[in-house]
Structure 1
Amino acid sequence: MNKSTQPIMASQLKSLQQLIQTAKFDQAIKQAEQLQQQTTDTEQQVELWYLIAVAQRYEKSFSQAFISIQELLKLNSSHSRAYQEQGYINLALKQSTAAKTSFEQAIQLNPSLVASWQELIQLYREAKQMDEVQKTANHLAKLKQLPPALLAVTELMHEGKLLKAEQICRQFLQNNKRHIEGMCLLAEIGIELKIYDDAEFLLASALELAPTHIYARSQYLNLLIRIGKYKAAEQQVETLLHEQPENLSFKVAKANVLTGLGEISQATTLFEQAIAQSELQNSPVAGFHLQLGHAFKAKGDITKAIAAYQQAYKLEPSYGDAFWSLANTKTYRFSDEEITQMQDQQDLEGLALTDKIQLHFATGKAYEDRQEYSQAFRSYQQGNDLQHAHNGFDINKIEQQVAEQVKYCTPELFKNRGDLGLNAPDPIFIVGLPRAGSTLLEQILASHSQVDGTMELHNILGLAARLRGRSNQSNNPESQYPKNLNEIKPEYFQRFGQQFIDETQVYREQAPLFIDKMPNNFLHIGLIRLILPNAKIIDARRSPMACCFSGFKQLFAEGQDFSYNLEDIGRYYQAYLKLMAHWDEVLPEYVLTVNHEDVVDDLETQVRRMLDFCGLEFEQSCLDFHKTKRNIKTPSSEQVRQPIYKSATEQWRHFEQHLAPLKKVLNID
C-alpha cells in the first residue's frame, strides 16, 4: 500500500473501533474483512485480524476469535495484545490455565499491559500462587501511578513504535519539565534509537533534580557502560552499592565496569561472588556466567571463558548469546549435540528475536568450521535477514553523510581552521571497516613500549553526534554537522581536543601514545584533524570481498547496522573508499593506509612503516605481537594472540556462489 492510502486506512481502523465500542460487532467484522482484501501491508493486516478477533469474542464466536488470533500471530508472533486477547478468549471458555499462560506471554512482551496484570491477579489467587499475587499487585500499582500519557508511552515502546512514543513523551515533558519518570522514559527511547548524547543529558539532569532516584541512576549507569564511559560509570555504581550493598545487579554492573577499566581479576572475583550468591538464593542467572566468560575472554583465558559460556546455556538452553559467544571466540568448535540443540531452540515458539538471531549466527559458524558452506550460508543469511529487518538501517543516510563530509571538509576549511586544535601528539586512531584487521594493527602497535592499547572509544562519535544536533532535521535533510565546522567559535577546537585527551585518560597507562581503534571514526577524520592536528591516523584496509563477507557473518554488539545485508555492506564499502580518497586529497599524508594482505605477506615491512609514521623506534616486540599480554574486547581477540596466518584472506571464496549481490555492488566480475 502506498503512503497516500495510509491515512485512509488509519481512519477506517478508527471507524472499526467505534463500531466495536457501540456493540455493532457483525458490521465491524464484515468491514474489516473487506479491508483485508484491499491491503497487502502486514502491519495493517495484523491490526485488522486483531479487531476481528475482539469483535468475534464480544459476539461470543470464541472458536472463530481464536482462529483469528492464530492468523495474527502467524504474521507477528510477538504481538502482545494478541496474547492478551487470547487470554480473554480462554477466560470466556473457562480455561483458566491457558488464560494464565496467555496473559503471562502478553506481559512478557509488553509489561505495561494493565489489563493483563489485572486478570493475572485473580488467576494467581485462584491457583493459590500468593507470591505471584503480591508481585503482580506491586507491578500493577507502579503502572497505575504513571500518568496516562506515560503509560501510553510505555505501551508504544514495547510495541516497537519508538518515534510515536518519543513524540508523546516530549509533549508530556513540555508541560511537566521536572517529571523524573518522564525523563527516564525519554532517555530509554533515546537509547533504543541510539541517540546516546540526548539520553545521557536527560539522565544526568534527572539525577540533579532527584539524586536519590535509584532507577534513574541505574539507567544512567547502564548507559555509561554501554558507551564505554567506565570511569564515570564507576562513580555511579559505587553510589548505588552504598544505597543497596546486597543488590546483585549492581554488583554485576560493578564487575562489568571493572572489566571495562581493565581490572579483570577484580571483575572475575565479583562475578564469581554474584554467581555464588544467586545459587545460594536458588535462582542462578545464566547472564552472570556469560559476563564472567566475557571477562575471561578479554584477559585471554579462553578455557575458562568457554566453560562459563557453556554453563550459561546449560542454565538457559535457548540462550542465544551463550552460543554466539562460543562461536565468537573464533577458535571454539561445536559438538553434534550443541548444533542439534541450537537448531531445536531457534524454532521454539515465542523465542526472543535476539536469541533467534544469535542462534542462527552461531549455527552458521558451526557449519562453516565443518566446511559445510551452503548450510553455513543459509544460517548466516537467516540471522542477517532477521537483524536487518529489526534494525531499520538505511544505507542512503550513510551515503548522505559521506557526501556532506566531502562537500564541507574542503581544503579551505583546513587552511582557515587547521591550526586551532590541541597540539597533543598522544592519539593514534585506527579507522576503517570492522573485520578489516584493525585489531591486529592495534595489537602490533600496543606491543611497543611507547604505546598503550585501549579499546573502541566512543568519544569522537559522541562529539560528532553533539555537533550534528537534532533540530530541524525533519524539515532539512542536511544535518548541522559537518557544515558547522566552518562556523563554530575557533576556541572550541582546542577545547574539544583537550576534552578528548581528558576523557580518554582513564583507558591509558603510562605510555606517551595511545590507540583509539573505533573503525567508524573514518567518517570524522576532518573533525579529528581540526581538534587534534598532531594525531596519527592509520586506515586498516582489507580487500573488498574478504572484508565485506567477514562483516556479513559477524554479529556485532552494536554500531555496525550496515553489515546485515550484502548490498548495504557493499555500498558502505564503496562510500568508505570514496571518503578515504577525499581525505587523501584534502589532507595529504595525514592518513597512512595499511593493507591487511600486505601485513600478512610481509609483516616486518608493514610494522616498520607504521612505526615510522608514528615517529617510533623499531622494537622486536611489535613483530612478536602475539606474545603481548593485554586485555582485548573485540571479536578478533583470540586471533591476534596467535602468530599471523594467511588462511582467512580467501575464506569468502567458499561462499562465492551466494555472493552475487555483493559482487555486483563492488563491481567485481
Structure 2
Amino acid sequence: NSLKVLATSLFRTDEYDKALELYDQILSKEPKNTDVLLSKGHLYKTSGDINKSISSYKKAYNVDRFFGDAYWSLANLKTYNFSKDEIKSLKSMINDKFVSDDEKVFMHFALAKAYEDEEDFKRSFEHYKKGNDYKHTKSMFNLKDFEIECQNQKEVCTKDLFETKKDWGFESSEPIFILGLPRVGSTLIEQIISSHSSVDATHELPNIIATALKLNKRQIQNMESRYPDILLGLSDPQLKLIGENYVKDAEVFRSKGIYFIDKMPNNFKHIGLISLILPNAKIIDIRRNSMSACFSCYKQLFAEGQEFTYNLENLAGYYNGYVDLMKHWNEVLPNKILSINYEDVVNDFEISVQKILDYCGLPFEKACLEFYKSKRSVKTPSAEQVRQPIYTSGMDYWKNYEPYLDDLKNNLKY
C-alpha cells in the first residue's frame, strides 16, 4: 500500500500530523487494518500521547485477538498494566497449537511483563526465556565473529594511525554520538542534552554502520581494501568527503540546533571510523552495571537487530567484548571519549549533567535538569520513562531474577 509506505516515511522524518492524516485515510477505507492501527499506536507513543496509543493497540487486538505485536506494544510502553482478562487470553493463546510461533513470541514477552508487574518473577522469567529461546533459534549472531570483528578494530586502529591522520576528515563539531549497549540509559542522556536550546535529537541513525558496510564491499578480493583495514589507506580528501556526507545525510532529521545527536548504540564498534572522518565530534559512552545492562537487554524484544540479546551467554560475551574494545579506544584516543555511568547520573544528577554539558562545550541551561518536560518525540522503548523525573527504582532490578541468571553471571568478566 503506497499510502502506508508514505505515512511510514513521514513518521520516520517526524512529520506526525501528515502521517496521522494518511493513517486515518487508510483506516476510513480499511478499518480492520491491524498494521496501520499498530503504526498509529507507535506514532502516539512517540509523540507522548499514551492514552491514544493504548487505545490504538487495543483496537488492533480487538480486530485480531491473535495479533501478538499489539500485546507486546502495550507491554513495551513500560507503564501499562495488563488486566486479568488480557492475561487469561494471552495464557490461552500461547497454548493454542494453531497460533504461530512468531505471534507467540510477542505474547511470551507480554506475559513476562504482566507477571513482572505482579512480582511473580519466577513465572515472568519463564516467559522471557521462552520468547528469547525462540528468537535465538532464528538469530544470525555469532559470538566468535563479533570477537574477531573487535580484534580487527584493535589491530587496525592503533595510536599511530590516529597520530598520522590527526585533524584529517571533516572539521564539523556538530555531531554528538551517544553509544554503548542498548537499554543502558542512552535515551536519558539524549533527552538531557537535547533539552538544550543548541542541540537537536535525531534518531539511532544507521549512517555510520552503513558507511562501514559500504567500505567493506570495496574490492572484496583484496584484504587491504576491506573494512576496517581500508581505513589505513584512505586519504584526507576521502575521509573528509565521508564525514561531510554523514553530516549532510543527517540534515533531514534536524531542526534549528547547532549540534545534533546520533544515539545508535552499536556505533561503539566504529569509534575509529568516526574519529577519522569527524575528528571534532563528541563521543559519549554510557554504561551501566553489567548485570543490570545485560538483563535489561534480555527483557527487551527488539524490533530489529540486537540479536546478541536473545541468549544469556551471548549477552555476557558481547558485554565483555564491548568493555574490552572501549578500553582500547580510550588507550588510542586519550581524552577523546566521555564515559558516563548510569548509576552516577541517577545518584549525582546535577553534577553528571554539568559534566556532560562541559564535555560538549555547552553552557548550562536549566531545561537540561528538567529534561522530562521536553515535548520532543522519542522513538525508543524508553519513551515513557524519559518523560518522568529521575528515579532509582530500576537500579538493581535484575536482583529479582538473580536465581535464573547463572549463565549470565558466570560468563561476565566485568
TM-score by length of 1: 0.61
The answer (yes or no) to whether the contact 1:454–1:516 under 8 Å persists in 2 is: yes
Max Rg structure: 1
Shift of 1:490: 3.2
From 16, 29, 33, the counterpart of 1:264: 16
From 38, 49, 54, the counterpart of 1:290: 38
Cα separation, 1, equivalents of 2:348 and 2:167:
37
Identity %: 46
Aligned position for 2:120: 372
The answer (yes or no) to whether the contact 2:320–2:413 under 8 Å persists in 1 is: no
Please state if 1:603 is matched with 2:370: no
**Cα 1:496–1:479 shift into 2, 3 Å:** closer
Q: Name the Cα RMSD after superposition.
A: 1.5
In the TM superposition, what whole-angstrom CA distance separates every residue of 1:389-440 from its partner, at most 9, and x where no partner exists? 0113211111111101111100111111232200000000000000110000
Cα separation, 2, equivalents of 1:328 and 1:354:
17
From 262, 266, 277, the counterpart of 1:531: 277
**Cα 1:471–1:352 shift into 2, 3 Å:** farther
Cα separation, 1, equivalents of 2:273 and 2:166:
10
Aligned position for 1:137: none
In the TM superposition, what whole-angstrom CA distance separates every residue of 1:218-262 from its partner, at most 9, and x where no partner exists? xxxxxxxxxxxxxxxxxxxxxxxxxxxxxxx21122211111111
The answer (yes or no) to whether the contact 2:346–2:392 under 8 Å persists in 1 is: yes
SS of equivalent residue, structure 1 residue 329? coil
From 500, 522, 525, the counterpart of 2:268: 522
The answer (yes or no) to whether the contact 1:268–1:296 under 8 Å persists in 2 is: no
In the TM superposition, what whole-angstrom CA distance separates every residue of 1:183-221 from its partner, at most 9, and x where no partner exists? xxxxxxxxxxxxxxxxxxxxxxxxxxxxxxxxxxxxxxx
Shift of 1:353: 3.2
Stretches of 4+ moved more than 6 A in 1? none
What residue ranges of structure 1 are gaps of 5+ in the alignment? Answer: 1-248
Please state if 1:396 is matched with 2:148: no
Please state if 1:561 is matched with 2:313: no
The answer (yes or no) to whether the contact 1:418–1:529 under 8 Å persists in 2 is: no
From 184, 198, 205, the counterpart of 1:450: 198
SS of equivalent residue, structure 2 residue 394? helix
The answer (yes or no) to whether the contact 2:61–2:67 under 8 Å persists in 1 is: yes
Please state if 1:413 is matched with 2:165: no
Structure 1 residues 343-382: aligned runs within 5 Å: 343-382=91-130
Aligned position for 1:31: none
Structure 1 residues 139-538: aligned runs within 5 Å: 249-279=1-31, 284-469=32-217, 480-538=226-284
Structure with more relative contact order (C-alpha pairs < 8 Å, separation 6 or more)? 2
SS of equivalent residue, structure 2 residue 30? helix
Cα separation, 2, equivalents of 1:530 and 1:489:
10
Shift of 1:354: 2.4
Cα separation, 2, equivalents of 1:577 and 1:307:
41
Q: Which amino acid aligns with 1:352?
A: S
Cα separation, 1, equivalents of 2:335 and 2:101:
46
SS of equivalent residue, structure 1 residue 554? coil
In the TM superposition, what whole-angstrom CA distance separates every residue of 1:530-552 from its partner, at most 9, and x where no partner exists? 00000000001111000000000
What residue ranges of structure 2 are gaps of 5+ in the alignment? Answer: none
SS of equivalent residue, structure 2 residue 167? coil
Higher normalized helix content (fraction of residues): 1
Cα separation, 2, equivalents of 1:405 and 1:353:
38
Aligned position for 2:398: 652
SS of equivalent residue, structure 1 residue 539? strand
Shift of 1:471: 6.4
Cα separation, 1, equivalents of 2:246 and 2:298:
32
Cα separation, 1, equivalents of 2:266 and 2:186:
11
Between 350-359 and 519-528, the greater mean CA deviation after superposition: 350-359
Aligned position for 1:662: 408
From 369, 374, 379, the counterpart of 1:633: 379
**Cα 1:472–1:466 shift into 2, 3 Å:** closer
The answer (yes or no) to whether the contact 1:317–1:345 under 8 Å persists in 2 is: no
Cα separation, 2, equivalents of 1:628 and 1:619:
13
Cα separation, 2, equivalents of 1:343 and 1:270:
35
TM-score by length of 2: 0.97
Cα separation, 2, equivalents of 1:613 and 1:602:
17
SS of equivalent residue, structure 2 residue 202? strand
The answer (yes or no) to whether the contact 1:318–1:346 under 8 Å persists in 2 is: no
In the TM superposition, what whole-angstrom CA distance separates every residue of 1:136-184 from its partner, at most 9, and x where no partner exists? xxxxxxxxxxxxxxxxxxxxxxxxxxxxxxxxxxxxxxxxxxxxxxxxx
SS of equivalent residue, structure 2 residue 395? helix
The answer (yes or no) to whether the contact 1:421–1:497 under 8 Å persists in 2 is: yes
Q: Which amino acid aligns with 1:263?
A: E
Shift of 1:276: 1.2
Question: How many pairs does the alignment contain?
Answer: 414
